[in-house]
Each structure stands twice: as C-alpha cells, then as structure tokens.
Amino acid sequence: MRIAIVTDAWRPQVNGVVRTLGHTAENLADLGHDVQFITPQDFRTYPCPTYPSIRLALFPKSGVRRALERFRPQAIHIATEGPLGHAARALCLARSMPFTTSYHTQFPEYVRARFPIPTSWSYAYLRQYHGRASRTMIATPSMKRILEERGFRNLDIWARGVDTNLFKPGPKSYLNDLRPIAMYMGRVAVEKNIEAFLRLDVPGTKYVVGDGPDLERLRTRYPDARFVGAKHGLELTAYVAAADVFVFPSLTDTFGLVLLEAMACGVPVAAYPVTGPIDIIQNGTTGVTDPDLRKAVIDALTLDPDACIAYARQHSWRKWTERFVSLLEPFKEKSWE
C-alpha cells in the first residue's frame, strides 16, 4: 500500500513524534509498504513562536496538493495539527477522501504552559480538528479516556515500541560521578516539568541529557546538575545505561518513549502517576509512580534491572507498526487521483 504521512514534526527535531514516525517508516518498508512523508523540509518555513528551533511550513497547501498528486497514495495519515496537517486535512475534505490522524501531544496543556489560554478552548479546537478523521490514533488507554471525556470520538490505541538493538544495558563506569545517578533524557522545555526533578533533594548526581529552549536557563539556575546536551545513537545509550534511576517529571506526555528506552537499558523509572507513566510502568517492578517524586526516585533505586529489560523487550516497533497499518483507512478507489 502507498501511504502518505503528513507531519509538521520532522528531522532535525529530536522528539518522541519524530522518533515514532521514523521507526514506523522503517518497519512499514520492511512490511512491503511504500511510504511518502510530507514534512517542513520541502517548504519555506518560519520559526514556531516560543520554540524557534521548530520550523513550520509557510503557506503549504499547494505544495501538499502537488506532493499527493505525484505520489497518489492509497491512504493518508495526518500526524500533527500544524500548517501541513491543516493543509492535508482541507484537501482530503474537499475531495471527500478519508484520512486518519494521531494525537501525539497534550497540545492544550503545552499551550497553557506558555500562554494564558484556557485549555477548554484548545480542546474545542482539537475536537473539531480530529472529529472529521475516520479515526484518531491514541498512544495509551488513559489518554483515550481523557479525550473521550472531552467529547472526542473514533479513538483507537496505537502505542509505541523500543529499539532493543540500540537501547540495552551498558557499563555504569561510563559516568564517573557521585552515585546514585538520577537522569532525565528528552526535550528541555517548560512543558516537561524538568524543574520538579532538579529541585529534588536526593543523594548523588543529577543528569539532564537533551536540548531545548529552556536549556541555558536551567543550566544557570541549577549549577550542581550535569547538563550534557543532546546525545544520539550509541553515545545516548551509554549515558542512559550508566544511570541508576531514570526520572520522568512530565505531567503532560501522552506516552513517553524514553520510559521504555530507559527500561531496555536496565534502568528503573521514577515518575508521577499521570498519563503515560501509569500506562507503561509496572509500579513496583519496572519503576515507581508516586505523587511524591522524591519517594518515587528513592524507591525505584531498589528495583531489579532485569525486570525492566524483560518488560521492554515485549514492546517491539514491528508489532505497533502492524497495528498502525490496521487502523489506516484506505481509499475505496485505488489511489488519490
């Protein structure tokens, strides 16, 4: 099947959406599907307000139309709610062609963290945006329940996997700091609630691995923590595997790929009991969720790394890519003409 995936989030961005789509594309190809991405790389762009490293496509509708006409997809998936997503959605509606969407981020909470806009307004916009899709793919059961309570319909679970060939145990000696080492890895931005981690009074050393708009502010404010910037590939794995506990302070993630990646490295997770962690963490086995994040960190340090590894290995990208394909809505005609 020829599958067009339209996304406003793409490389060189490093985040859960981009990594999810990248792994999905690799597995779609292995399954014999032909995939075409429509991304900001093909358009003139402008910086996203408050997050200039994210580039958004400028007036992309005609370019999206040309790309779809050239590729002639048999199914269209719209991954994000940005300019490209809106353009593809409008084109599908104009032609009465079915499409699917996905809900990757708690957009209303992200907006509220930056601007004084009521979350009810943002949810109303998103309900209308996703309401015309054949189905909207959600990462976790808890996120599905939240959206259903907000009036969303036609929701289906499409979870995430982990690359256990990359993320696996490694030597703790890679990091030579006072133990235990507590680590956050991911985007360094206000919606990730990283300061809740950095403010904790816990023994040992705190590490922040990642980049983002809040990096310099947090580095200045918390000089005792180690801010090492973004890492990739084997170097990233080495950092994560060298930690003693992985701390996930976010209150707004819909999943949290990094949770499975830490577990695959044999590192238990400490998190709040919110959407994402409560769906992924086996409380008391692969990590600890607790309203008291300090307690979660201390308790997680006592857990068995082997249980974390065994659990992570149950979550393959191949499995969830097959699920993605099953949720697509192929055109009744052969292709986009």
Instruction: Report pLDDT digits (tens) over 175-231.
Output: 999 999 999 999 999 989 999 999 999 999 999 999 999 999 999 999 999 999 999
- Give a yes or no: residue 336 inside a domain: no
pLDDT tens string 142-174: 999 999 999 999 999 999 999 999 999 999 999
Give yes or no for a contact between 80 and 112, defined as CB atoms under 8 angstroms apart: no
**Which among 160, 108, 166, 195 is positioned nearest to 279, based on CA atoms?**
160
- Give a yes or no: residue 29 inside a domain: yes
Residues 191 and 121 in one domain: no
Enumerate the H helices of 33-118 as residue ranges: 61-71, 83-95, 107-114
Residues 107 and 151 in one domain: yes
Residues 145 and 223 in one domain: no
Residue 102: CA atoms inside 13 Å, Cβ hemisphere, count? 30
- Give a yes or no: residue 166 inside a domain: no
**Residue 107 scores a pLDDT above 70:** no
Residues 153 and 255 in one domain: no
Total domain count for the chain? 2
Q: How far apart are CA 161 and CA 106, in angstroms?
A: 20
Residues 226 and 84 in one domain: no
The domain in which residue 151 lies consists of: 2-161+317-327
Task: Tell me the one-letter amino acid at 224.
Answer: D
Q: Per-residue confidence at 109, pLDDT binned at 50, 70, 90?
A: confident
Residue 63: CA atoms inside 13 Å, Cβ hemisphere, count? 18
Residues 8 and 148 in one domain: yes
Residues 203 and 275 in one domain: yes
Give yes or no for a contact between 255 and 140, defined as CB atoms under 8 angstroms apart: yes
Q: Quickly tell me which residue has 């593809």 as its tokens.
A: 88
Residues 46 and 157 in one domain: yes
